[in-house]
Amino acid sequence: MRLLLVEDDSMLGSALQRVLQQESFAVDWVQDGDEAVLALNALPYDLVLLDLGLPGKCGLEILHGLRKRRASVPVIILTARDAVSDRIAGLDSGADDYMVKPFDPDELSARIRALLRRRDGRIEPLISFGPLTLNPATHELFIQEKPARLSLREFSLISILLERPGTAVSREKLEERLYGWNEEVESNAIEVHIHNLRKKLGTNLIRTIRGVGYLMEE
Ligand code: CA
């Protein structure tokens, strides 16, 4: 899952980027409103964390622009304690949630998971498919109740494939959602992850459709 973090405060921005990467998210971080607009026009992000007071375009303008072109990406605004009117304006402009600074990164992660769950139309916090159960909060995977150890990237990959089981996802799309723009990606990275995942799953749940991509199948 790939997030866009828009925050001009260097300390907060780099701390958030680090924490969210440890939560298995790919995180692109921009410190300027105009850069945020460029990034949002270029890539289909899974979620946006949006500070309101920014150099260049302000957060509310960015939000207006997004909703005007009917982009449905979930947005969490990050606001200061005394800015109640900003939070109201943000929610009324199409934000889905807000966090008041300073906040606990674990709470932010939980709110991100809740929004992604809603986006995907899931009611259960756990993701189940055939013999598999995934817990997005702990990054645990169980195969018929038995725990399997996945890397964060493998966990992310299988979560993406399970958003729409039976629908193929291309290698390019997977790459786009697994890696941020500051990360180096080996040309066969996805193939390697799929290979390792198949070994760990021990069953033939991931099918390759030649020239198209990968899909989950029972
Ligand atoms: Ca700011």
8 A C-beta contact, residue 2 and residue 156? no
**Where does residue 199 rank: exposed (0-12), middle (13-18), buried (19+ CB within 10 A)?**
exposed
> 60, 92, 119: which is the final residue of a domain?
119
Q: What spacing in Å lies between the alpha carbon of 57 and ligand 1's midpoint?
A: 11
> 84, 119, 154: which is the final residue of a domain?
119
pTM of the model: 0.94
Q: What spacing in Å lies between the alpha carbon of 51 and ligand 1's midpoint?
A: 6
Residue 202 belongs to domain spanning: 127-216
**pLDDT at residue number 75:** 98
Q: What spacing in Å lies between the alpha carbon of 5 and ligand 1's midpoint?
A: 12
pLDDT, tens digit, 9 for 90 and up, residues 26-62: 999 999 999 999 999 999 999 999 999 999 999 999 9
- Phi-psi group of 172: left, alpha or beta (phi > 0 → left; psi -120 to 50 → alpha; rest → beta): alpha
Q: Domain with 20 in it: what CATH number?
A: 3.40.50.2300
Q: What spacing in Å lies between the alpha carbon of 50 and ligand 1's midpoint?
A: 9
Q: What is the 3-state secondary structure (H, E, C) of 124-183?
A: CCCEEECCEEEECCCCEEEECCEEECCCHHHHHHHHHHCCCCCCCECHHHHHHHHCCCCC
